[in-house]
């Protein structure tokens, strides 16, 4: 059952291009509804959006027909925004009175949309230092590996694996092993490699666009069968991308060529390379492990994207955008209890902006010469840029959520309202350029560990300037070396008696 979202009668609004909007539940659903109302609805006619409710109750009520419909719609439309959903545990099945424990929708989506890669990139706020200084990109092969393994728990015996070719040639034994333990599990899986070529193109194009150095991560030194993944990536790179990367100077840090990293070494480099400015492509399970590590190094799963890229039958890319975090149950419980919450919606909004951009791109690909399509595309692009600037500036001016701005930060509702105010101001004035230059307000009290009364005496800007002067490493902290140098230079270092 498809529900049309928020049709509107205001003809002045731009008609947003078709997009699938998958609704989830709890805190992230609440926040998304709020920000859609305040940020999107005032500027767009959303009647071309198709909304599917993947809450547990809706899946239960429809015997999961709604998931099938959502996947079909995604295939047809090609641009999907998904809120976090709940995959119910046995306890939740009881609590919610569900017919069964509906599984994660991910499998159906990856299959239905011919998943090639799950792209996961760090999210940055201009002017605020995160875990990685510059962008980190990741392509995780969306298929293959142990996720689709066959297995059994067996005792002593022999395990025989045979391959029977479709072309009628002779079958042959892939593996024959004696199991000598009394308790074994045996595991069989395959990696389908046909779409690795497409994954390579997606990866290298993105690395060029974001100006980062590409690395291919496998365990092929020991898991010899992974050589094929590297071979295909290297071939595509050498044939079509190497020159561009060389020209852009993006291979300077990797010895002038596409470089392979062993997966366990990659876990180490992810901690060392906090300057960012690199991308990695990996198999499915390695990608699962490594992208969660990236999220944590960068700050939390709130600051990394998760976009499934697949392919429709006509060759256009299907892209599904979602936040990397869950439904944030603890804040939802606080909200239901009438307490203040402060949800950082950055991951949600980056997903929403990504889906809206892709939806506009798909229309432009279809009608590159249609005037109103070109106008719509330009409007969406400008809107997304302006919205991102509004959000970033709100964070930078100390009006962000409490995870970033400390206990004096804004609530969920106040943050969304403040961004809406700023967005409208920027859009109204069509003065994006000016907006970027908006002067930062004076430092808030919370930035100084000095009583309010005293604070007024001092020149905060001068203190900040002094701090920057002695924070030579620029990490927002002064270490003992910097401290000693500072005391000496300020003439207040204690002298020997």
Find the binding residues for its own copies in span 206-235 (CB under 8 A): 219, 222-226, 228
490 interacts with its own copies by CB under 8 A: yes
What is the number of other CB atoms lying within 10 angstroms of the CB of residue 369? 7
Dihedral (Cα; 227, 230, 236, 237), 10-degree rounding: -140
CB of residue 181 to its own copies, shortest distance in Å: 4
How far apart are the C-alpha atoms of 342 and 403, rounded to whole Å?
8
Number of residues located near its own copies, criterion CB under 8 A: 101
Phi, psi angle pair for 400, to nearest 5°:
-80, -175
Among 27, 290, 391, 405, binds its own copies (CB under 8 A): 290
Minimum CB–partner distance for residue 17 and its own copies (Å): 33
| Smallest distance, its own copies to C-beta of residue 299, A | 10
Closest separation in Å from C-beta 16 to its own copies: 35
Kindly state the DSSP code that residue 20 receives in the 8-state scheme. Answer: E
467 near its own copies, rule: CB under 8 A: yes
23 near 52, Cβ under 8 Å? yes
What distance in Å separates the CA atoms of residue 355 and residue 178, rounded to the nearest whole number? Answer: 51
Burial degree of 201 (CB within 10 A; 0-12, 13-18, 19+): middle
Q: How far apart are CA 287 and CA 116, in angstroms?
A: 13
Candidate ranges 35-43, 148-156, 238-246, 332-340; the one touching its own copies (CB under 8 A)? 148-156
Would you say 172 or 315 has its CB closer to its own copies? 172
419 within 8 A of 391, measured Cβ to Cβ: yes
Instruction: Choose the stretch contacting its own copies; rule: CB under 8 A; options: 8-16, 24-32, 159-167, 361-369.
Output: 159-167
Q: Is 152 in the site for its own copies (CB under 8 A)?
A: yes
Contacts (CB under 8 A) with its own copies, residues 174-213: 174-177, 179-194
114: tokens are 């011919």
Q: Is 440 among the residues that bind its own copies (CB under 8 A)?
A: no
292 lines the binding site for its own copies (CB under 8 A): yes
* Member of 156, 333, 408, 431 binding its own copies (CB under 8 A): 156
Q: How far is CA 272 from CA 115, 253, 266, 268, 463, in A?
A: 31, 14, 10, 6, 32
Structure tokens at 448: 């100084």
Q: Residue 190 Cβ, how far from its own copies at the closest point, in Å?
A: 4
Whole-angstrom Cα distance, residue 174 to residue 424?
Answer: 63
Choice between 300 and 411, CB closer to its own copies: 300
The answer to whether 285 contacts its own copies (rule: CB under 8 A) is yes
**Residue 108 found at the interface with its own copies (CB under 8 A):** no
Binding range to its own copies, per CB under 8 A, among 149-157, 342-350, 360-368, 424-432 = 149-157
For the chain, the C-alpha Rg in angstroms (whole number) is 26
314 near its own copies, rule: CB under 8 A: no
* Relative orientation angle of helices 480-490 and 460-470, to the nearest 10 degrees: 120
Contact indicator for 137, 204 with CB cutoff of 8 Å: no
Within positions 247 to 276, which residues make up the interface with its own copies, using CB under 8 A?
263-265, 267-268, 271-272
Taking the least distance from each CB to its own copies, the nearer of 14 and 289 is 289
154 binds its own copies (CB under 8 A): yes
Q: Which is nearer to its own copies, 6 or 184 (CB)?
A: 184
């Amino acid at each position: 059952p498809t529900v049309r979202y928020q049709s509107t009668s205001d003809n002045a609004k731009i008609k947003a291009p078709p997009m699938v909007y998958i609704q989830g539940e709890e805190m992230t659903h609440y926040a998304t509804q709020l920000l859609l109302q305040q940020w999107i609805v005032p500027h767009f006619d959303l009647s071309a959006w198709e909304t599917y409710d993947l809450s547990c109750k809706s899946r239960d009520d429809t015997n999961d027909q709604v998931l099938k419909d959502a996947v079909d719609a995604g295939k047809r439309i090609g641009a999907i925004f998904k809120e976090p959903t709940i995959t119910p545990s046995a306890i939740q099945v009881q609590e919610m009175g569900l017919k069964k424990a509906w599984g994660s929708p991910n499998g159906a989506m990856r299959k239905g949309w011919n998943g090639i890669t799950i792209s996961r990139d760090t999210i940055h706020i201009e002017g605020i230092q995160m875990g990685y200084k510059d962008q980190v990109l990741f392509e995780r092969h969306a298929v293959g590996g142990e996720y689709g393994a066959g297995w059994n728990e067996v005792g002593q015996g022999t395990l025989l694996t045979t391959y029977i070719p479709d072309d009628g040639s002779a079958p042959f034994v892939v593996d024959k092993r004696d199991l000598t333990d009394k308790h074994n599990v045996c595991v069989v899986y395959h990696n389908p490699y046909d779409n690795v070529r497409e994954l390579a193109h997606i990866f290298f194009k993105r690395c060029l666009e974001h100006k980062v150095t590409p690395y291919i991560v496998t365990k092929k030194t020991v898991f010899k069968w992974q050589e094929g993944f590297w071979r295909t990536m290297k071939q595509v790179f050498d044939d079509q991308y190497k020159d561009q990367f060389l020209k852009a100077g993006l291979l300077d840090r990797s010895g002038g060529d596409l470089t392979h990293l062993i997966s366990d070494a990659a876990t180490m480099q992810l901690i060392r390379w906090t300057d960012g400015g690199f991308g990695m492509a990996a198999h499915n399970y390695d990608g699962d492990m490594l992208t969660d590590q990236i999220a944590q190094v960068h700050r939390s799963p709130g600051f990394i994207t998760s976009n499934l890229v697949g392919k429709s039958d006509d060759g256009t890319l299907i892209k599904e955008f979602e936040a990397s975090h869950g439904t944030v149950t603890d804040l939802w419980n606080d909200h239901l209890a009438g307490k203040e919450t402060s949800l950082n919606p950055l991951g949600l909004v980056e997903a929403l902006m990504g889906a809206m951009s892709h939806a506009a791109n798909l229309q432009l690909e279809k009608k590159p010469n249609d005037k109103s399509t070109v106008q719509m595309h330009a409007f969406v692009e400008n809107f997304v840029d302006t919205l991102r600037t509004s959000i970033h500036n709100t964070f930078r001016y100390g009006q962000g959520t409490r995870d970033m701005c400390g206990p004096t930060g804004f609530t969920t509702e106040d943050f969304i309202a403040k961004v809406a105010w700023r967005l409208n101001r920027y859009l109204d004035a069509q003065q994006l350029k000016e907006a970027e230059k908006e002067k930062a307000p004076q430092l808030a009290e919370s930035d100084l560990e000095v009583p309010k009364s005293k604070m007024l005496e001092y020149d905060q800007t001068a203190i900040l300037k002094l701090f920057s002067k002695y924070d030579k490493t620029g990490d927002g902290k002064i270490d003992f070396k910097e401290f000693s140098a500072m005391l000496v230079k300020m003439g207040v270092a204690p002298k020997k008696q």
